[in-house]
Amino acid sequence: MQPNDITFFQRFQDDILAGRKTITIRDESESHFKAGDILRVGRYEDEVYFCTIEVTGVSTVTLDTLTEKHAVQENMSLAALREVITEIYPQQTHFYVIDFKCV
């Protein structure tokens, strides 16, 4: 079985597959992705593969500079986005925005 390149919480799977979630915000440990990368995507909870994505861009952002555009790309409100990021990455403020599309 081929390993996944990146994982997402299961709650995001439907939004990714429907094209409603087109970015992910990660910490430095996942800052190595670059535009053009083709990634196998699995669920974080059980590592089950569910799609393949193409990275279309990578940029940096801080918690304070997250915008409504980021929230729309994540398919949530800006307040919810900041809350989710803070829960996943407590005490971190510098992140990498990975833009992607399903292929």
Catalytic residue among 68, 74, 83, 87: 74
Q: Has 74 been annotated as catalytic?
A: yes
Report the chain's C-alpha Rg in angstroms: 13
Q: Has 21 been annotated as catalytic?
A: yes
* Dihedral Cα 37, 70, 59, 2, nearest 10 deg: -20
Catalytic residue among 21, 34, 47, 87: 21
Catalytic residue among 22, 24, 34, 87: 24
CB neighbour class for 79 (10 Å; exposed up to 12, middle 13-18, buried from 19): exposed
Residues with catalytic function: 21, 24, 74
